[in-house]
């Protein structure tokens, strides 16, 4: 991200007192921007694709609002292979019924030989794991349903 783009974001925050958070991520040549306003659920917006370096670090999952009570869907932040555990002989990171907090590792999505830990961004209980171990996942594909607590 360029300095002028950061300055534009700061100006946007100053002009719109209702904005409490802006989250940005860059991957696979594209950008994703999520804006949170006071009293609202975050609404993702996709910026035009521009050349950008791909981060090799673990990525946070993008949240999605749900109509099913207070269930929160955690989606794949990238295309890759879904793994429930750090290696084939290890116990899964979580299972249905597991309690999670922000930062709890839920799974790994392998992309281009890089193991990306996907973390929860909410506190709650894992109600459903929507993907099988070893299954290929697409960007934005729902992985988990977490009941907020």
What global pTM score does this model have? 0.55
In terms of residue numbers, what domain contains 61?
A: 56-149
Give backbone dihedrals phi and psi of 58, rounded to 5 degrees, phi first. Answer: -65, 140
**Each residue's pLDDT tens digit, 10-40:** 777 777 766 667 676 666 556 666 666 665 5
Same domain, 77 and 148: yes
Same domain, 11 and 47: yes
Structure confidence at residue 89 (pLDDT): 92
Same domain, 73 and 50: no
- Of 33-47, 71-85, 89-103, least confident by mean pLDDT is 33-47
Same domain, 26 and 78: no
CATH of the domain at 106: 2.40.50.100
Q: Which of 86, 88, 94 is nearest to 143 (CA)?
A: 94
């Amino acid at each position: 991200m360029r300095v002028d783009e950061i300055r534009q974001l700061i100006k946007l925050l100053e002009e719109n007192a209702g904005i409490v958070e802006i989250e940005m991520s860059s991957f696979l040549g594209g950008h994703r921007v999520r804006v949170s306003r006071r009293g609202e659920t975050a609404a993702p917006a996709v910026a035009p694709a521009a050349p950008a370096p791909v981060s090799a670090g673990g990525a946070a999952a993008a949240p999605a609002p749900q109509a099913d009570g207070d269930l929160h869907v955690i989606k794949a932040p990238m295309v890759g292979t879904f793994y429930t555990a750090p290696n084939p002989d290890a116990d899964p990171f979580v299972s249905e019924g597991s309690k999670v907090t922000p930062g709890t590792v839920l799974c790994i999505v392998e992309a281009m030989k890089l193991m990306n830990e996907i973390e929860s961004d909410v506190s709650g209980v894992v109600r459903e794991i929507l993907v099988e171990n070893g299954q290929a996942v697409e960007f934005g594909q729902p992985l988990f349903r977490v009941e907020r607590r």
